[in-house]
């Protein structure tokens, strides 16, 4: 009987199901050189764990041939990296052709931000609003949402006759920081800096900089590079809102067709 038991135990199990390989979303497939996600701290939205460990991000917009050759506006895509060049996030615009061609850079949009595993960690929503400085009642804004559509902050344009200004708000719509841009956002062969400052605008705490990308790229495409700096100990949700402000600034000031 012992021998019979042994023979049964040694037989291979033939009906063991093979686990399925999950499919990746179409926005941003993983690439070599990505960073792993650390453990999530308390009060940190899922997928934003890595933001708690850094004070800088690099945002590189992908060059689209249809835009460069034909001038046909396409959905924007961005690679988000750390200072070592490792991919942290991937951002992709969701929009329809009519909105892109008719409204241009002032269009409303939904921007999906995914982590290295293809999971959506942020959703950025911009409604369609007037951009003229003579309409202070209808200024630009951006809503930043964590997974499941939970708002974590807002970027609100402040009216000013000649200087770009924005207020960073938390999920309760309480003002936390300000962003102050230059009088002229068009500079040749140099970076354009939008300073992140305290509410009284006396203390600089970070910056969102549109980086000079070279003469050929600047002349023939609207694909831009940005650098974002913020305090290391800043609330991770406010870091995410500053990250979202970078895209609103890109659309408002640097997305015009070349």
Give residue-wise pLDDT tens across range 82-134: 999 999 999 999 988 888 778 878 889 999 999 999 999 999 999 988 765 55
pLDDT for res 7: 43
End-to-end CA distance of the chain: 85
Please state the separation of Cα 168 from the chain's center in Å: 15
In which band, very low, low, confident or very high, does the pLDDT at 168 lie, cut at 50, 70 and 90?
A: very high
Count of CB atoms situated within 10 Å of the CB of 36: 9
pLDDT, average across residues 242-256: 92
**Under a CB-based contact definition with an 8 Å cutoff, are residues 177 and 191 in contact?**
no
Higher-pLDDT residue of 210 and 25 is 210
Q: Which two tokens stand for residue 155?
A: 């970027």
State pTM to two decimals.
0.80
């Amino acid at each position: 009987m012992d021998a019979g038991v042994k023979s049964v135990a040694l037989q291979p199990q033939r009906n063991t199901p093979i686990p399925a390989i999950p499919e990746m979303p179409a926005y941003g497939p993983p690439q070599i050189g990505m960073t792993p996600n650390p453990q999530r701290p308390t009060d940190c939205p899922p997928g934003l764990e890595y933001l708690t460990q850094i004070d800088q991000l690099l945002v590189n917009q992908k060059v689209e041939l249809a835009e460069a050759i034909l001038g046909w506006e396409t959905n924007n895509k961005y690679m988000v990296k750390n200072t070592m060049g490792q991919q942290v996030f991937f951002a992709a615009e969701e929009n329809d052709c009519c909105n892109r061609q008719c409204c241009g850079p002032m269009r409303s949009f939904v921007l999906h931000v995914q982590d290295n595993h293809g999971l959506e960690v942020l959703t950025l929503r911009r409604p369609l609003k007037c951009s003229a400085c003579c309409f202070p009642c209808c200024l630009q804004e951006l809503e930043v949402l964590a997974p499941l559509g939970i708002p974590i902050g807002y970027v609100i344009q402040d009216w000013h006759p000649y200087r770009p200004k924005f207020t960073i708000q938390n999920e309760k719509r309480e003002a936390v920081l300000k962003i102050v841009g230059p009088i002229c956002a068009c500079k040749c062969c140099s970076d354009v800096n939008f300073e992140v400052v305290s509410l009284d605008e006396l203390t600089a705490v970070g910056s969102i900089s549109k980086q000079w990308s070279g003469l050929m790229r600047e002349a023939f495409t609207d694909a831009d590079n940005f650098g974002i700096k913020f305090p290391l100990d800043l609330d991770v949700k406010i870091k995410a809102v500053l990250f979202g402000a970078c895209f609103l600034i890109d659309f408002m000031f640097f997305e015009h067709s070349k």
